[in-house]
Amino acid sequence: MVAELAALIALMVALAAEALHWQRTRRIARLAFGPYTTPRLWARWVPLLAAMSVAAVVWGLTTLMTIEPKTHTTHTIADGELKHLVLVLDVSPSMLLVDAGPDGKQSRRQRVDSLMKSFFERVQLPNYRTSVVAVYNGAKPVVIDTKDREVISNILEDLPLHFAFNIGKTDLFSGLGEAAEIVKNFEPKSTTLMLLSDGDSVPSTGMPEMPASVEHVIVVGVGDPVSGKFIAGSQSRQDASTLRQIALRLGGVYHDGNEKHLSTDLIRTIASSDSESVLKKLTRREFALIACGVGATLCAVLPLLLHYFGTAWRPGVLQTTAASANSTPRVRRKVHRRAPATPL
């Protein structure tokens, strides 16, 4: 309120000064603007612009003086910009089979690591906190809300998490339920849930309900979906139809990551769907800085514009060129012809 009052007072004083100046310039209008006694059309708005620029500078400086100073730290992220990524990682022994990748020479776990490395290279990593939930015949949280990429890389590539479980049948629903429990207290629409698996038979009921904090669900399949590998007396391959069904029931998308990385369009949707526009992020401090800059620029530029472009009248003696000055004017002589004499 103090800044607005100071700006109003400055505006009134500046308008009064401009009115007094206008009264004085009317007396010498012919000297300043020539026979027409008027400036250019745009120059008639200059008194109002000058007064408003003074008011803008006063408002901006008063605002900056009264608000709390802003401190900048390298590791501080606003709550509205913090995002969470939860990876539900299938660590069953079938994920160690080698049939993934474009050439089929990667294990399914190695393919998951390649996919996530590509993902982390294309997102603004400082804004993300990553959690990992390992799932086999149960679910165990491995790390929650870490910002260390090396920790995530070690978990995805080298950590033999299947030894933390008893031998049994894969239960992907338990991993989804554990992830929902972790993110239930996060900010609404701040979390991306990513399931990384080669597939599993899932029941028709019992799908965990995702809380309001989950905005995106991505189900990524790895492993050859056509020809599988034998393990424990049965053939294992990527169960694309089951993974697509899980994505559909969760309201998410399915991506076959066996040969292709996550698309740029999909990553752009995940990373920027909830971001605010630049204008909405501006605070009172930023508006005060803008007012100071624009007002001071107008105060400095308006006198120059008035001097060079305020009027079309250019007083003074018209300068002639050297050629025209040195040339001698030609005088046309009138020839009087004598009339012929008449005979006598």
Classified by CATH at the fold level, domain 82-274 comes out as Rossmann fold (3.40.50)
How much is the pTM? Answer: 0.60
Confidence tier at 142 by pLDDT (50, 70, 90): very high
Confidence tier at 40 by pLDDT (50, 70, 90): confident
Using DSSP, state whether 284 is helix, strand or coil.
helix
Q: Are 257 and 111 in contact (CB under 8 A)?
A: yes
Give per-residue pLDDT as tens, 208-257: 889 999 989 999 999 888 877 777 667 788 888 889 999 999 999 999 98
Q: Are 208 and 173 in contact (CB under 8 A)?
A: yes
H/E element, 256: strand 253-256
Q: Which residue has the higher pLDDT, 81 or 134?
A: 134
Winning range, highest mean pLDDT, from 104-108, 314-318, 333-337: 104-108
Beta bridge partners of 132: 87, 143
Q: How many CB atoms lie within 10 A of CB 22?
A: 11
DSSP label at 257?
A: T
Confidence tier at 274 by pLDDT (50, 70, 90): very low
H helix runs in the chain, sequence order: 2-25, 29-33, 46-66, 108-121, 149-157, 172-183, 240-249, 264-272, 278-281, 284-309, 322-326
DSSP label at 165?
A: S
Question: Cα(110)–Cα(251) distance, rounded to whole angstroms?
Answer: 27
For the chain, which residues make up each domain, given as ranges? 2-71+282-312, 82-274
